[in-house]
Structure 1
């Protein structure tokens, strides 16, 4: 009597196909995974560096998420339609990233709101990455392209951890570094001003690109022994609020004029500018000549490199700089060594915290975009008459930059009462290091003395 035998078959589970089915479709699924990941990466690069090039942090992050969402959606759709290994789980990250990206583009949150969101999104992203890892393991065999997805999930997890570290670092810096001085409303937003010392004329310190009031930690106390000195933060720097839009030199000058007036600081002032701060000081002097008693340019940037048309150009942030705030939000900047500033504490820590923050990178990007207009506006200063002027050039900068000495001499020629000096130091050391700060403070003191006495400046 014949007996019928039935082979036991394991029914497919809802988590994915059986091992045999996986082997049959391993080739197509591998190609689909590779193509989907490549599509997401390319799409994110195209929209952030092309379509939304130079946009704010919310647009850069939002557009990148939309690009990545496209890649995950492609994986889900093509695997369902073209293979026997459907990866329907990929619809979840696609939908989540698309919704978040659209939300950022539509709502356009500012940096403060993004910082608050940093207490939430890293945990959500980490949970999503871990869940995706489980789904990948259950729905794909080892030879079906799983190895292509695992590195992506590791990057997502690292981004989540880095985002959490960055959020904690931002909160720690805010609690650790109390604001010196006061903030004053200049028209819908507040600027920070810290003044010490007494006597006149009052010295006003203008920081360069990537610097702010703490950068003068060595110079300001030295000058305060002679006269009153004020360090301030332009919009977007240090303890000052962000401005509604990128500011050029004329807008920054108007802000400073309002700030000094509302703080009760009386001019005329001795303006001091380091690096690009020199162009801000020159622009202020051209706009408010009656408020300028003297000028000190510390290795000031060359404003004559700009053309006349630059002064009216709309500022546009370079695409490569626009992505830096979003990358900093992932904690990448926390990897920067903490010992790069020679200033004493707490100034060194304050500068480190600001320079490596998303807001610090955004400020650098915004001021870089405004630089051509700033240089063109600084050229409006064609003469200072007999106003005391010291131009202090760092020897290293003159040796490494063609045309730097000529530009410094051209600025020194703005006044019939000027002194052009060369300091044996570096560009940054004029503020950072003890010797350079002493030379800078001496130049400021000489201008203050010339203003008080009405005497001509000595050559050195």
Structure 2
């Protein structure tokens, strides 16, 4: 028993040293193209590229950092100014002492835009949880926002309409995140690009992702309380898979998701919905041309 206990302690110590050393190497090995912007007691990592009369601002999905937008951002920067950033506690950004709900996140982003004196016209682009944040931003600061692009955005009713079914997968995933101090996430993040892996493998990033997940129901509830309606603001909803009318009734979750995306599109009288035709959630990574074209069409119309 003593040998087993000693072996476990040794493995944990080796894992901790491995994680600490790898995180240090990662933090010094990548060319940080952006800047750290002080928003109070902590700073956020922000990249500002391209020029143009329109500024396009991106927010990533839950657990993601700004590097997931690299393909799209590089192309969009050819015709617009582009802002990508890591939310507090994610990627290269510092941790925040505040709750990780959408209301706080939007206030933090607004502080960044004020620091950079960005007042519009602005196109907001959000993926998944980032779509919730960008919707809230558009409702909170509508005077600055010219258009909204939502890429497979989360919906306020999705927890009720699409309850978790694979609890084993859920808890195994959470265990891996909690085990970040001993380097476990580095094992299952090995198939992504090196910069994204470096940013996501830190203990800080993994624990912040857990915090965002914990506050996710509150973020959805807060958005629902605002009764999202964007008037005639240009709104493009880019959704995975196909329209609800084209989905077999036996594929219940696919059908519900398509219906929720179609509901989001009703929030503006000037909306367009685009279905990717593929079932992957990360449309901006797997089919970036769809997102780029939608943004360019909007930018040229403003």
Q: Provide the TM-score with structure 1 as the length reference.
A: 0.58
Match of 1:372 among 203, 217, 232: 217
CA distance in 2, matches of 1:320, 1:244: 27
Quote the offset at 1:328 in angstroms.
1.6
Q: Is residue 389 of structure 1 aligned with residue 235 of structure 2?
A: yes
Tell me the SS of whatever aligns to 1:368: helix
Q: 1:263 to 1:352 in 2, by over 3 A?
A: same
Determine the structure 2 residue equivalent to 1:443: 294
Higher helix fraction (1 or 2): 1
Tell me the SS of whatever aligns to 2:107: helix
Determine the structure 2 residue equivalent to 1:5: none
Does the 8 Å CA contact 1:324/1:362 hold for their aligned counterparts? Answer: no
Does the 8 Å CA contact 1:269/1:294 hold for their aligned counterparts? Answer: yes
* Superposed CA offset, 1:271-303 (max 9, x none): 000011100001111111112110000011122
Determine the structure 2 residue equivalent to 1:327: 179
CA distance in 1, matches of 2:112, 2:243: 32
Determine the structure 2 residue equivalent to 1:274: 127
Determine the structure 2 residue equivalent to 1:224: 77
Q: 1:424 to 1:306 in 2, by over 3 A?
A: closer
Does the 8 Å CA contact 1:270/1:292 hold for their aligned counterparts? Answer: yes
For structure 1, list consecutive stretches of 5 or more residues without a partner in the other structure. Answer: 1-147, 308-317, 342-347, 453-460
CA distance in 1, matches of 2:132, 2:73: 20
Give runs of aligned pairs for residues 46-445 of structure 1, distance below 5 A: 148-305=1-158, 326-336=178-188, 338-339=190-191, 341=192, 348-379=193-224, 380-395=226-241, 400-433=253-286, 436-445=287-296
Q: Provide the TM-score with structure 2 as the length reference.
A: 0.87
CA distance in 1, matches of 2:295, 2:5: 55
The count of corresponding residues between Structure 1 and Structure 2 is: 285
CA distance in 2, matches of 1:389, 1:330: 43
CA distance in 2, matches of 1:444, 1:283: 19
Compare CA radii of gyration and give the structure with the larger one.
1
Higher strand fraction (1 or 2): 2
Higher relative contact order (CA 8 A, sep 6+): 2
